[in-house]
Every structure is written in structure tokens, then in C-alpha cells.
Amino acid sequence: MTEFTYKVHGLVVSCDRPLSDLDKVTVSAPADIAVSIDKNLTLPQLPKDVWIDCNAADQSVLMDIPDGPAFRIFDGTTIQYDPREGGENRLRAYLLGRALGAALYQQGRFPLHASANVFGGGAVLFVGDSGAGKSTLCHALTLNGAGLVADDVCVLSPDATQLFPGVRRPKLWQDTLDEFGLSSGGLDPVEEHQGKYYLPNDTQDMPSSMPVSGVVLLEQGTCVSLSDVSREDALGLIARHSYIYTLIPEMGLGQSFLDFAIKLSNVPFYRLTRPMGFDYLDETVALLNQRF
């Protein structure tokens, strides 16, 4: 069987199908996580609106994505998938997002719902509620020379000081593409008819990991400003922007998550406010360049 090998979040991932979101690597070491197809996954009966089930005894996770693939993730080393319906893009998005996220939790790692760009050799993570403008700002920063380190999911070293490059393929909505003067023609849609598109992978060279120089919360405001965040608020942000937070209590990882969050709260946290829209994007990018 053909096997494709990739590096993401500091891990070697092998897969029995190509994952165009990632850069292929040649390694002699065994994969940290092996991904393979299994068209006979047995799924539990889940209540309506519940798509994830965690076995408290062995921490294995089953995911039943509506109109999409199913996954079984166990030992932090193995992801089995059944493509079912929804197509290749939906499969890849969930595989590299939630399924990989669950495997990371099983390894005792704590993925964050954040995107990151590199400034002068250090990584700055951006968190914010859906619609806060992470993708737009990160793309503007990338165009400005601050390369994209990770889109949507960031995975740090266990001591929370280093960031590993993640999926470096930005996703933008049609109206954002328009503002950047880009055409969606020829771009891969994230999902059919959703109006969100994958840009080509950022190909700027990245080191295998880089120190974290800050975490920035994006919020809407009346002017462009950057202010400090207290440690208590920083801790709350880390929990609120954890990727699939529900897995932390379900897997009994509360204590190790707290220890990780405390380490991460030693990094400077900032609140960045700015009016939404493209008019203030240049000013925002300039402010971040000045700070980092």
C-alpha cells in the first residue's frame, strides 16, 4: 500500500491517502500517528446532536460527523477513518482538525484553536471567537512577510514555550478574497456551496519549531489598540480557546491541562481591538510589527 508521510505539529503522520494540506516529508523514523481507512467502523448510538464519544476507560474517541466521515482515534497513535459521504475536502478538514486534535489530547498535548504567524523568529498566536477576523488578519500578515505558522490549530511543546508548524493552508471567505483582490476561480472549496476557499499552502521556510513570543486575543473595538491581559484572564482565554475543550474533562485531563495553561500564561498575552473591515488592516499589521 502506498503510504504518504507528513510532518505537522512536530509529529510525523503517515496516511494511506495524500493530504494536500501538508508538506510531504521523507523520514526513516516510524510515524508518531498512523492514519488508515477502515470502512467497518462500529459507531455507538449517540444522542441527537452529539457527534463525539469518548471512552473514559481507554480514552479512545469515536467521531460521527454528520454528512461526513467517521473516525476512531486511539492510543494517541492511530486514526482510522471511514470516508462515508461528504467528499475528499470534508474528510481532510475533519481528519487534520478534530481527529488529529483528539489524538493530540490522547498524547497529553493541548491543541489551541488559534492561528499563528512568525515575527522575527518568534511565533505570535491569534485567538478570537468565530468571526473575529483571525483568517483575514493572518493572511494580511503573511502578505506582509510574517509567514503563517499554523492555521486554525496550534500545538505547543509540553512546556508551552515552543510552537510547531501546523497546517499552513489558510481558508478565506469569498468576500475576504474579494477584498484581497483574489479570485476563487481554481481554488479548492472547503465545503461545497459554503463560500469558503483554501488558499495555496504558505511555502515560506519554517524552522521545525520556534519560541512563542505572545498570544493575542482579537476583538472588535472603536480604534486599533493593543493592551496587556492579566494572568487570570489569560488562563480563561486558554481554556475558552482550547480545541475541542469538552475532551479535557471527558478524558480526565483537567489537572495536566491546568499545569499546561499555567505554563502558557507565562507568555505575554494581549488584547487587540480594532474596527472590523479592511480599512484598519494596514494600521493593525503595523502595530503588530512594531510590538513583535
Partner 1 sequence: MDSNSILSPDPNIAFSQVEDEFILMSMDNGAFYVLDGSAAAVWGQIQQSKSFSDLVAALVQEFDVDQATCEQDCTALLEDLIAKKLVSVA
- Which residues are at the interface with partner 1 (CB under 8 A)? 231-232, 235-236, 239-240, 242, 245, 248-249, 254-255, 257-259, 261-262
194/246 with CB nearer partner 1: 246
152 contacts 199 by C-beta, under 8 angstroms: no
> What CA–CA distance (Å, rounded) separates 211 from 122?
5
Least distance from partner 1 to the Cβ atom of residue 167, Å: 25
Least distance from partner 1 to the Cβ atom of residue 263, Å: 10
- Classify residue 121 as exposed, middle or buried by CB count within 10 Å of its CB (0-12, 13-18, 19+): exposed
- Beta strands 4-8; 11-15: pairing state: antiparallel
Give Dmax over CA atoms of the chain in angstroms.
56
Helices 134-143 + 281-291 axis angle, to 10: 70
31/258 with CB nearer partner 1: 258
Least distance from partner 1 to the Cβ atom of residue 252, Å: 9
23/129 with CB nearer partner 1: 129
Least distance from partner 1 to the Cβ atom of residue 121, Å: 29
148/234 with CB nearer partner 1: 234
Least distance from partner 1 to the Cβ atom of residue 244, Å: 12
Quick one: the chain helix, strand, coil %, rounded to 5?
Answer: 25, 30, 45
CA 145-104-32 angle, to 5 degrees, is: 90
108/249 with CB nearer partner 1: 249
Least distance from partner 1 to the Cβ atom of residue 250, Å: 10
Q: Which three cell numbers stand for residue 20?
A: 494536500
128/147 with CB nearer partner 1: 128
